[in-house]
Amino acid sequence: MISNPVKVKALDDYKIQLAFEDGIKGEIDLSYLKGKGIFKAWDNYSTFKKVYIDEETKSIAWSREIEIDSNKLYLELIGKTFEQWKQENLEYASDK
């Protein structure tokens, strides 16, 4: 299982700062989503600043309608595809 987020904070220019249970931390630029589809809500920047971790789904959310899968963001931070992450973790588990 990919690590769960433990902290999220809105930064300037539609970026978020994230921290995960396993110690992975970093910034993600979400500005490319602004103004598209459900993300039009971010046109009001105060809406973007209300980011939180949905305790039920562990998604990064701004409302019930606006969520981003935290697994996608985690993989972006570590620069790997899900397949690469899975293979590395299978190899690690078999070494134990």
Q: What is the pTM of this model?
A: 0.87
Question: How many domains are contained in the chain?
Answer: 1
Phi, psi dihedrals of residue 71, rounded to the nearest 5°: -65, -40
State the CATH number of the domain containing residue 61.
3.30.2020.10
Which domain covers residue 75, as residue numbers? 5-95
Q: CA–CA separation, 41 vs 62, rounded Å? A: 9
Encode pLDDT of 21-46 as tens digits.
Answer: 999 999 999 999 999 999 999 999 99
**% of the chain residues with pLDDT over 90:** 85
